[in-house]
Structures are given as C-alpha cells and as structure tokens.
Amino acid sequence: MNKKFEVDILSARNFTSFGFCMSGRKFSTPSYRYAFNGKEKDEEWNEGSYDFGARMYDGRIGKFLSVDPYSWKFSHLSPYAFAANNPIYLIDKNGESYEVAYKNYKRVGNSVTMDVDIVVKIKVLNLSSTTIDMNKLKGSAQTYLNSVYNGEGGQTFDAMQTYDGKVLEKAESISITGKVNVKVEIEVITSLDQLQAGDDVAVIVDEVNQAGQGDEAGLMANHGVLLLEATYANDPKYSNSLIAHELGHELGMWHTTVTGAVMKGSLAENQNKIDYYSKGEILQEAYKDHAYNASQKKPESNINVNYKNRPTKANAIKAIKDNTKKK
C-alpha cells in the first residue's frame, strides 16, 4: 500500500555570512523562532537580533550588543566582534569566545594534511589531605601546557572502521601530518558541586590505585576525569609533566618509549617534550572526529565533541571511588 506523506516547511532563509537575512529570500511561520546558527530570534528588538546565550547579537551590523566576557584574551579584537570578524573561517557558538575546528584540511589518496587548534578548559580540585598552593599550581601548569603540545606532528594508522558506534569507512592505512596548537585554560575549584556537564577535571587525591593495576602517579580514569596523586602533583619536578601526561591521553596520545617524553609510561624528572609521533596521535584523533562529522553531514567541531554532554560529576565520583585510596 502506498502512503502519502506531507511535509510542513517551517522556515527557509538565506543569510549573509554575518547572519542578516537577505531581502526577499526568507520564509518562516510565526511559531518558529530559530534562524541564523540555530539561535532564537528576538524580533521585539529588531529583525536581525538573536539570543546567543552569553550575549545578544545584531546581524544587521554583524556585532554583539555587549562586551565579550573573555575580551582580555583577545586584545587585538573589538570586544563586540562576531567570530573575530571572520565568520567564513571561524565559529562563535555562544558569544563568549571563538573556536577553530580544523584548518587546511586536504586529502590526496591516503595522505592527509590537517592543522588543529584545540581549546581545553579544565578544572582542578584538591581532595587530598596534602595542603597545596592551587593558584601556584595553576599558574605553572597553565604556562607549561600552553607550550608543550604545540608543533608539527605526524602519524600513520589504520583508519577507524567505526567511531561512536557508527561505521565510517573500510579500514585503510592513513598517513597524516600537520600542526597542533593547544590552548589550555585552568580554573581552580573547591567542590565537585562546581562541575558542570561536559567539564574536564583534574582531581588531586592521596593515592591513585587503578583497579587491578596497582599504584599509579596519575590516571585518566574516565573521559574528562584525570586523577593525580598528591605526592607528585605537589612536587614541581613532576607536577607539570604529570598533568600533561594524563591530559595527553584525553587528547588522544598513548604511551611512548622516547627518552624524556611526557608520554613515557613511567614518570620521571625532566620529561619535558612531546615527540612528533605523539603529536601525530592528536591529529589522528582529530581526523576521526572529522570523518565522523563528514559521515553524519554535521558541521565540523572540536575534538571530544561527543563528550560535551557527559555527566562529569557522576564520572568523577565513580572514578574516585574505583581508583583511589586515602591515607
């Protein structure tokens, strides 16, 4: 039996790159309130006004109507700018900051070149019995992390056949090269109650004891939850490389045997470099995300996009329960 379906079109619009609807090129029912970038219209203000979450945006002039709360990070830009005045290349999710997903992506046969910029916002919490100067730890770690991951990388790997449970492509050997640029922002918190869904968190505990594995200096216990043993987190000879090591796993890196490398399996002094192939593993993780989005016909987004709605507090509580000991 043939069935007939009718589709109601609620909205169809063509926009300029800054979000102003082109004259004569729109249709929308009164009940549908969403338009440019999926943001809610606020036509009580004017026809081109949108609620981006953190700020109101006026598509007629391509500017936000209030100052960027993170303007101190971008002194070279107007605090009212949308997507750094470059909406073809950059995205502005909610008016707080901008992110670059992938740059210069090119694939010829099985050779891929791709540069990635990654913004990591991580919260740090001390639940150990050791008194630690958390602001000092934050300052030192943030400076270190904002340099150690960056540079050229390369890797050859078998392309993932599945990602997030979905089939992407047949297994094939992919060679990838490119530049990695990681920016890390650290916030010190005092309670697990300050965690929000999707947060990355590093929790300092008395003793890390991975289930079935024995004592560890640190552990990526769950996606977004890093555990750091207080003895090492409070020692400047180890603290920065320990955080970089566990966060490196979150970015896609595995253990290496390279002398002096941050990702070496055993913690030691003077582990202050991330080698070319480990940076290539970050690119490899980015490639998987790129391939997934392409297969789903989704816009490109940052690494770990599939974990943005993870229940971070619940994950942290479970990780602490399963993998730590108190003195």
Distances (CA, A) of 77 to 67, 74, 118, 312: 11, 6, 20, 33
Q: How confident is the model at residue 83 (pLDDT cuts 50, 70, 90)?
A: confident
Place of tokens 């043993």: 229
CB neighbour list of residue 86: distance below 8 Å, 6 or more residues apart: none
Residue 96 lies in a domain: no
CA angle in degrees (0–180, nearest 5) for 140-143-145: 100
Q: Are residues 306 and 169 in the same domain?
A: yes
Q: Are residues 77 and 26 in the same domain?
A: yes
23-37, 38-52, 159-173, 266-280: lowest mean pLDDT where?
159-173
Among 51-55, 167-171, 319-323, the range of highest mean pLDDT: 319-323
Residue 242 lies in a domain: yes
Q: Are residues 184 and 76 in the same domain?
A: no
Structural tokens at position 21: 């609807």
Q: Are residues 255 and 204 in the same domain?
A: yes
Residues of the chain by 3-state class (helix, strand, coil), percent to 5: 25, 35, 45
Among 33-47, 53-67, 253-267, 292-306, the range of highest mean pLDDT: 253-267
Residue 130 lies in a domain: yes
Residue 95 lies in a domain: no
DSSP 15-80: E-TTSPEEEEEEEE-TT--B-GGGPEE-TTT-TTEEE-SSSEEETTTTEESS--TTGGG-TTS-TT
Strands 214-216 and 56-58: unpaired
Domain end: 85, 119, 141, which one? 85
CB environment 299-327: b (16+ within 10 A), e (fewer): ebbbbbbebeebebbebbeebbeebbeee
178-182, 219-223, 252-256, 309-313: lowest mean pLDDT where?
309-313
Strands 102-108 and 162-163: unpaired
Q: Taking a C-beta distance cutoff of 8 angstroms, is the pair 32, 11 a contact?
A: yes
Domain extent for 42: 11-85
Q: What is the pTM of this model?
A: 0.65
pLDDT above 50 for 163: no
Residue 288 lies in a domain: yes
Per the DSSP assignment, residues forming a β-bridge with 179 are: 152
CB neighbour list of residue 109: distance below 8 Å, 6 or more residues apart: none
Q: Are residues 58 and 185 in the same domain?
A: no
Q: Which helix (H) or strand (E) holds 287?
A: helix 276-295
69-73, 95-99, 157-161: lowest mean pLDDT where?
95-99
Residue 106 lies in a domain: yes
Domain end: 85, 116, 135, which one? 85
Q: Taking a C-beta distance cutoff of 8 angstroms, is the pair 318, 222 a contact?
A: yes
Q: What is the CATH number of the domain that holds 188?
A: 3.40.390.10
Q: Are residues 237 and 290 in the same domain?
A: yes
Percent of the chain whose pLDDT exceeds 90: 28
Domains identified in the chain, total number: 2
Compute the mean pLDDT over every residue in the chain, rounded to the nearest whole number: 78
Q: Are residues 119 and 226 in the same domain?
A: yes
Domain end: 52, 85, 118, which one? 85
Average pLDDT (213-234) is 84
Average pLDDT (164-183) is 73
Distances (CA, A) of 160 to 87, 123, 222, 287, 307: 31, 31, 21, 10, 18
Q: Taking a C-beta distance cutoff of 8 angstroms, is the pair 12, 26 a contact?
A: yes
pLDDT above 60 for 170: no
- What is residue 299's predicted lDDT score, i.e. its pLDDT? 42
User: In whole angstroms, what is the distance from residue 140 CA to residue 135 CA?
Assistant: 9
Residue 3 lies in a domain: no
The SS3 call for residue 189 is strand
Q: Are residues 122 and 271 in the same domain?
A: yes
Q: Which residue has the higher pLDDT, 148 or 164?
A: 148
Chain-centroid distance, C-alpha 129: 31
